[in-house]
Amino acid sequence: MPQTQTVRQDITVGQDLRVDIELSLPELSTPANEATPVLRPQESTAIEVSIKACGSQNDNETCALKADEAVEFTVMAIDKAILELVPHGLRDVAADYVFNLGLSFDVASSSDILHAPGAITGLVEKFVREQEENPWASIDSELLTPGSGYFGYYDDVYDSYDYFDDELAEFGTGAVAFAVASGGAAAESATVAKSVARTAPAPPPFAPAPSADAEVESAGASGGAGAALRSQADFMATPLFVTVNATDNGSGAVNFTAPDNLGTFVVRAYAATDKARFGSVETEVIVRRKLSLTPSAPRIVRVGDAFEAGVIVTISGGSVSDVPITMDLKLEDKSQELLSLTTESERQIVTDADGQAEVRFGLQAEALGEAKFIISAGDGSGSGDALELELPILGLQDPVTVATSFAIQAAENETATAVEGLDLPAALPGTGGIELQAGVGRLPAVLANARQIMEANVNHTCPHDGSLELVHTVVPAALQMYSLYTPDEDEEQDRATEALLATSGANFSLALQNLAVDNLTHSEFGLRWWIACPPLRPRMGPLRSASIYLNAHAVWLLDSLQDLLESTDQQVFLEGAGALRKLSDEHWRPALATQLVRDAQESRSRRFFPGPIRLSTVALARLGLGRDWAPPEGTEPQIVDDISMERLDREFGKLDMESRAYVALIHLRNQSEAGDELVARAIDEWTSNFRVGGRTAYIATCNGCATPMGLKGNALVLLTMTRAGQAVGPFREKLANYVASPPAGRYAYFADYIEKIVAMLALGEYDLARGSADPDLGLVVTSGDVELLQAEFTSPQSPMVVTGTSWSVLNQPPAPLEFSVDGKGEVTIAALLNFVPAEPLPFPTYRGIYVEQAIQLVNGSSQFDEPMGAPLSTVPLGSIVIVTIQITTPDALDATTVRILMPGGLEPVDPNIEGDSFGVCALPFFGVFSSFPYFNCPDQETLPSVVTFRYNRLRAGTHVMRVRAVAATPGVFGLPPTAAFVNSQPELMGLSPAGSFEVCDGEGCEAVPLGPARTPKACPQDCNNNGLCDLDKGTCLCFEGFTGDACGAFVET
């Protein structure tokens, strides 16, 4: 049997790109009992860096320079406090350049995600134009990637290294710049710079500017002669960032001047050679005075707060001070009206064994403003320090808005008037004002929808969208409701409208070509949803059915708008109207009728759950086919009944809200007594489902529901009411406002072009019915002998008029507001009272939104911001708390803002720098989907004085927000009310109750529960809008001049 010998030799193949470097501070000494050298502010020292020399060990691969090898050093000094706030360790640059065999690459062409410069410019111009015309319009500004469907995509290179979120910037040149690009030195500086940008301006780390710290003579520092004030706003996080080329022996030196701010600085050095070797090293240096002060004061306080502020005194070397240190606090002259001292202004202290002592002074915030005070210290031997601190003193409440809105239609040959009582609530002096907003018609919203349609697939390239091309052909008819193609000789149009009208003809022609038979129109199945480009059409499977939705809307829209299309006097539209009528009569309508019968038959012959075809399908199909249409002869009687108008009338109560509008519109086209009764019934049911909020109102999707019906459904209801001529109080005008400016939708990425054209049709017919499509109207608003507004509206493009008037201008007490309108048209008016309440209310305020607030201790065992225990009125100093805000709304709301005013003793923690916290979106995957409208994760802005949450919409129900905060300052602080309001209608709002909050310190200090939660109680008749409802007691606080349990009676004089 043959034998073989095996010889094995293991060979290790490595790639060591490291080079060892040394970093030293030769001019500095280290105090006894300390391990870190000390430097005084503005003192300079040399920092030396060098390549480590080779020793007796076998380290020749990482030491010393090789022949002809050049090296470049990057040296930086970073405030350690910043690195603790945003951790970023010393980067091992060499490891980033070792080739990883586990890499996987996705390769893509950049041409797939390129956009023409004109497209970007057009997008910006469109945004500016539409904002000018209608600031409340919902603008579709998404720039889609060609060929990528709705969402676009991007490709990445994935590797096994950790990901860093830093915005990398390149510094230096040559080998160092190459090393920086790996995420090393520059990544740290970018992190630091980004952090500093959140707090205070700082010079760029790569080009240190001269210190801007103000140094003035010490103001009354006892024994502290020569001590200079240090402005804590001039905070240099990166006082050194420099690149230096090494000498021939591989060494280099830089000069470091310590900044004025005190603390520990991390000195880091990175090396990169032209032979692709890299190294890094770090050390620390402390910047401090012999005697130094560190501020211990709140970031903000509010009027009425009683608090403690002071400094931490530190003796260099950390020992008990030999002699007492004299402390002094002095208020600047102008600040003595803003702050008052509640303790002695001068005292003497002795530091403890570690060389530190905290000194606090009692202060009381008296008035609004920016207070300044100086704290100085001296030991009598010439060593001292002084700080000038700025303290913003804020109010206890934001401005609030109380408003009413209504419409006035001008009466022929007479002046129409309306009177609104004017009751001015108690407000802080100088804060009250009346804002009036007035506008005529909804043309800006109609034009905004038209632009969104026309700018979608501007070149009409394939694949073609059937709904989009259909809508392109009827947009000119919707615009003609305002006579835009046949204006009066003296009527001028703005450039944007002229450009829109000029391009509508080309859009119409291209859309008509794409709608032709054998293109988007199938000879048998009518209009289809889409069709591929010609080279790909052979691969498409055969079309097997017609779209009832698309063909029904196509036939109905053409029936509704054809006459307007022909009235444009434009040849392209006149010829196109005939072609569209032919497509409708010969293809769309027959395909709709055939498919309706076929679907009804299939529904009855199903193997499982056979039965009649869905009522909503029949209603929609009948909208296109009309009331008098009948199925072909020979159709089974049961099928005939299933798709009959009699069935729709008989089972009308089973239809959803939108389908009822289909049936009502059919009956309005063919007047009959039975049809009129059914239309009146539909309007009554819609009216009972109105959800009114401020200036808008919507129809709920079902009885007792809060969720709004879709925009198309609300537009169809508005169209039905307009054609029926029904007067339903102010609700129809508010419904028109809702259709003109709907809230953001859940699936905004998928444009519904038919919805847009239906909204245009409903708004246009409403304006025609109210005389606002061609207005000639004058408006005057007065209060007694004071004129607040005068405006004329002579065109549907007349801009909205907004005026503001201070309360001080009005007579005292003010006369009611009188609105006088003459001419033709309907003017929509909103009257708003903007003011800051004189006293924050101790009970919640409800005007459409109910707001609750609680402060609780944080659950330290949870990864997320979860509170535990009962709500508190007092917490110990240093506690970490959760401020929980809960808002409840009975209706769906548009973009909404929640402002949490922080009490002076609590410092909010920004979730962006909070480590593992995810902020208000308590699930990590929300970060991925936060931009997608379905996941309604709000934007959060965290400032010392206020934390703001911004929602793009709010569903009806309860929503919870949480903010982590630290009890940083002892004292008794005012607890301001948290406000929630709708951005476009600030009068739709709510406030949590105001109160007080204490941060305690010392012996006997412990958390104190707030007490049981209070259940809100309704007030009689909602106080008739003549007072405020105390939701705690259920009683009314009447405005001046009104009395009674419900504030429904005038005070006798």
Dihedrals φ, ψ of 554, to 5°?
-60, -45
Determine the Cα–Cα distance for residues 833 and 818; give it in Å rounded to an integer: 15
Residue 797 falls within a domain, yes or no?
A: yes
Range name among 251-260, 410-419, 536-545, 648-657 with the lowest pLDDT average: 410-419
Residue 769 falls within a domain, yes or no?
A: no
Per-residue pLDDT of 822-858, as tens digits, reads 998 889 888 888 888 878 888 888 888 999 999 999 9
Query: Would you state the pLDDT for residue 757?
Result: 96
Q: Per-residue pLDDT averaged across 524-542, rounded?
A: 89
DSSP 3-state helix, strand, coil percentages of the chain (rounded to 5)? 25, 30, 45
Q: Are residues 893 and 981 in the same domain?
A: yes
Residue 205 falls within a domain, yes or no?
A: no
pLDDT of 545 strictly over 70: yes
Higher pLDDT, 185 or 1045: 1045
Query: Would you state the pLDDT for residue 927?
Result: 44
The two tokens of residue 446 are 């109609």
Contact assessment for residue 464 and residue 537, using Cβ atoms and an 8 Å cutoff = no
Contact assessment for residue 699 and residue 708, using Cβ atoms and an 8 Å cutoff = yes
Q: Which of these, 426, 406, 408, lies nearest to 417 by C-alpha position?
A: 408
Range of the domain at 713: 625-743
Look at residues 394, 427, 462 and tell me which one is the last residue of a structural domain.
394
Query: Would you state the pLDDT for residue 150?
Result: 35
Determine the Cα–Cα distance for residues 762 and 900; give it in Å rounded to an integer: 40
Range name among 59-68, 112-121, 467-476 with the lowest pLDDT average: 112-121
Kindly report the CATH number assigned to the domain that includes residue 179: 2.20.130.20
Task: Give the global pTM.
Answer: 0.71
What does the DSSP 8-state code read for residue 82?
H
Determine the Cα–Cα distance for residues 534 and 548; give it in Å rounded to an integer: 25
Rounded (5°) CA angle 527-532-534: 110
Q: Are residues 169 and 64 in the same domain?
A: yes
Per-residue pLDDT of 609-626, as tens digits, reads 999 999 999 999 999 999
Determine the Cα–Cα distance for residues 392 and 305; give it in Å rounded to an integer: 12
291: pLDDT confidence band, cut at 50, 70 and 90?
confident
Q: Are residues 74 and 156 in the same domain?
A: no
12: pLDDT confidence band, cut at 50, 70 and 90?
low
Dihedrals φ, ψ of 319, to 5°?
-145, 165
Residue 721 falls within a domain, yes or no?
A: yes
Residue 619 falls within a domain, yes or no?
A: no
Per-residue pLDDT of 868-895, as tens digits, reads 989 999 999 999 999 999 999 988 888 8
Q: Are residues 481 and 573 in the same domain?
A: yes
Q: Are residues 185 and 255 in the same domain?
A: yes
Q: Are residues 582 and 662 in the same domain?
A: no
Query: Would you state the pLDDT for residue 59?
Result: 57
Higher pLDDT, 1043 or 138: 1043
The set of residues, in sequence order, having a beta carbon less than 8 Å from that of 752 and lying 6+ positions away, is: 467, 711, 712
Query: Would you state the pLDDT for residue 162?
Result: 35
Strand-strand pairing, 38-39 and 278-287: parallel
Share of the chain above pLDDT 70, in %: 82
Q: Are residues 182 and 61 in the same domain?
A: yes
Per-residue pLDDT of 299-342, as tens digits, reads 999 999 999 999 999 887 666 666 788 999 999 988 999 999 99
Contact assessment for residue 76 and residue 205, using Cβ atoms and an 8 Å cutoff = yes
Q: Which of these, 153, 126, 129, lies nearest to 141 by C-alpha position?
A: 126
- In the three-class reduction of DSSP (H, G, I as helix; E, B as strand; rest coil), residue 928 is classed as helix
pLDDT of 193 strictly over 50: no
Contact assessment for residue 250 and residue 64, using Cβ atoms and an 8 Å cutoff = yes
| Cis amide leading into 813 (omega within 30) | yes
Helix H or strand E segment including 477:
helix 466-480
**One-letter amino acid identity for 863?**
Q
Strand-strand pairing, 696-699 and 690-693: antiparallel
pLDDT of 194 strictly over 60: no
Look at residues 713, 732, 762 and tell me which one is the last residue of a structural domain.
762
Q: Out of 158-167, 170-179, 587-596, 906-915, give the one with best mean pLDDT.
A: 587-596
Query: What total number of domains does the chain contain?
Result: 8
Q: Per-residue pLDDT averaged across 530-558, rounded?
A: 91
211: pLDDT confidence band, cut at 50, 70 and 90?
very low
Query: Would you state the pLDDT for residue 914?
Result: 58
176: pLDDT confidence band, cut at 50, 70 and 90?
very low
Question: Sign of dihedral through CA atoms 680, 682, 687, 692?
Answer: negative
pLDDT of 483 strictly over 50: yes
Determine the Cα–Cα distance for residues 853 and 841; give it in Å rounded to an integer: 14
Phi-psi region of 33 (alpha: psi -120 to 50; beta: other; left: phi over 0): left
Mean pLDDT of the chain: 82
Q: Per-residue pLDDT averaged across 562-566, rounded?
A: 91
Residue 617 falls within a domain, yes or no?
A: no
229: pLDDT confidence band, cut at 50, 70 and 90?
low
Q: Are residues 184 and 43 in the same domain?
A: yes
Range name among 180-189, 423-432, 676-685, 997-1006 with the lowest pLDDT average: 180-189
221: pLDDT confidence band, cut at 50, 70 and 90?
very low
Kindly report the CATH number assigned to the domain that includes residue 932: 2.60.40.690
Q: Are residues 180 and 312 in the same domain?
A: no
Q: Are residues 952 and 962 in the same domain?
A: yes
Determine the Cα–Cα distance for residues 12 and 462; give it in Å rounded to an integer: 58
pLDDT of 178 strictly over 70: no
pLDDT of 1052 strictly over 80: no
In sequence order, the β-bridge partners of residue 89 are: none
CB atoms under 10 Å from CB of 70, counted, come to 15
Share of the chain above pLDDT 90, in %: 43
Higher pLDDT, 1021 or 638: 638
The torsion defined by the Cα of 563, 567, 572 and 574, in degrees rounded to 10, comes to 50
Q: Are residues 127 and 179 in the same domain?
A: no
Look at residues 735, 762, 789 and tell me which one is the last residue of a structural domain.
762
Higher pLDDT, 423 or 985: 985
Q: Are residues 992 and 962 in the same domain?
A: yes
Query: Would you state the pLDDT for residue 71?
Result: 92
Residue 618 falls within a domain, yes or no?
A: no
Q: Per-residue pLDDT averaged across 789-802, rounded?
A: 89
CB atoms under 10 Å from CB of 899, counted, come to 18
Q: Per-residue pLDDT averaged across 553-580, rounded?
A: 92
Query: Would you state the pLDDT for residue 158?
Result: 33
Residue 230 falls within a domain, yes or no?
A: no
Q: Which of these, 839, 887, 844, 886, lies nearest to 1033 by C-alpha position?
A: 844
pLDDT of 475 strictly over 90: yes
Residue 883 exposed, middle or buried by CB count within 10 Å (0-12, 13-18, 19+): buried
Side-chain-side CA neighbours of 263 within 13 Å: the count stands at 21
Query: Would you state the pLDDT for residue 1040?
Result: 66
Determine the Cα–Cα distance for residues 1000 and 1005; give it in Å rounded to an integer: 6
Higher pLDDT, 182 or 462: 462
Q: Per-residue pLDDT averaged across 898-920, rounded?
A: 79
Query: Would you state the pLDDT for residue 837?
Result: 81
What does the DSSP 8-state code read for residue 411?
P
